[in-house]
Amino acid sequence: LYVEHPLAEGQTVPLTREQAHYLFGVMRQGAGAAVLLFNGRDGEWLAEVAEAGKRGGALRVLRQTAPLRRPPDLWLLFAPIKKARTDFIVEKAAELGAARICPVQTEFTNSERIRRDRLQAHAVEAAEQCGGTYVPEVAELQKLDRVLAEWDATRRILFCDEALAGPSSALAGVGGSDAPWAILIGPEGGFSDAERARLAALSHARAVSLGPRILRADTAAVAAMTLWQQALGD
Ligand code: SAM
């Protein structure tokens, strides 16, 4: 169960109404039941139900069961698309171990805004379901130009470009390097020529192909993260 509270032995953690409904109504747990907790910072902790009510309750934290497992330092930058598919990208990025998820507005991006809190909740749910102890932060939507202008060049960018449309040049050479990386995925309409030129001029960005077919943006995000993981063996 994800909670916002700091986790340490002896702490009492109050439950929200939704959490109480889930634990006591849906899962039929009661006082004394064991629950595993994480907050994205302190690892995983065993707790027991100290108070069970219809609208709330409390857990008592007993002991740590696992340390915080940080994923490798990979950011996913992607242009938000339709709502359900944007939700999908965030969910899968969290499952596949993105350390940070950054929605970026490119020239051909149709969405002008995102619901950051909603996307963050999807990242929490994904971490919960895959037994993670880490929750990637979902950043506010920012213009790609501005992101690139302020970029710290020590983090290299894998710029996924469907225009390369060759065999998957994929992520050869990524493994073995301990420099942090970011994957960049474009919107439905792809990148503009100006954006391609701008990215090509950056020494820390490298254009990669994900294979000969043009993938949907959500598929491309999952494929790129999976290939990256495979290259890294993590
Ligand atoms: N129109 C489709 C859609 O609705 O999603 C295709 C969108 S494709 C242009 C979106 C992004 O996915 C591209 O900007 C690129 O980042 C990535 N992408 C898709 N296929 C790719 C490929 N074969 N190689 C590299 N990147 C790819």
How far is 179 from 184, CA to CA, in rounded Å? Answer: 16
136 DSSP assignment: P
In this prediction, residue 173 carries a pLDDT of: 63
Ligand 1 pocket, Cβ-based, cut-off 6 angstroms: 160-162, 165, 185-186, 188, 190-191, 209-211, 213-217, 220
Q: Which atom of ligand 1 is nearest to the CA of 213?
A: 23
In this prediction, residue 5 carries a pLDDT of: 93
pLDDT of 9 > 90? The answer is yes
Residue of 191 and 175 predicted with greater confidence: 191
Q: What's the CA-to-centroid distance between 140 and ligand 1, angstroms?
A: 22
* Single pTM value for the model: 0.89
pLDDT band at 230 (very low <50, low <70, confident <90, very high): confident
Q: What's the CA-to-centroid distance between 219 and ligand 1, angstroms?
A: 8
**Looking at residues 41-56, what average pLDDT do you find?**
94
pLDDT of 112 > 90? The answer is no
In this prediction, residue 177 carries a pLDDT of: 58
Residue nearest to atom 22 of ligand 1 (CA): 162
163 DSSP assignment: G
**Looking at residues 197-209, what average pLDDT do you find?**
93
What DSSP line would sit under 1-56, residue for residue?
Answer: -B-SS---TT-EEEEPHHHHIIIIIIS---TT-EEEEE-SSS-EEEEEEEEE-SS-
Averaged pLDDT score across all residues of the chain: 92
Q: What's the CA-to-centroid distance between 156 and ligand 1, angstroms?
A: 20
How far is 35 from 58, CA to CA, in rounded Å? Answer: 11
**Looking at residues 8-35, what average pLDDT do you find?**
94
How far is 88 from 191, CA to CA, in rounded Å? Answer: 21
What torsion do the CA atoms of 82, 83, 87, 88 make, to the nearest 10 degrees?
Answer: -40
Q: What's the CA-to-centroid distance between 1 and ligand 1, angstroms?
A: 35
Residue nearest to atom 1 of ligand 1 (CA): 188
Residue nearest to atom 10 of ligand 1 (CA): 217
Residue nearest to atom 18 of ligand 1 (CA): 162
How far is 234 from 217, CA to CA, in rounded Å? Answer: 23
Name the residue among 75, 44, 73 with its Cα closest to residue 61: 44
In this prediction, residue 110 carries a pLDDT of: 87
pLDDT of 189 > 90? The answer is yes
pLDDT of 228 > 90? The answer is no
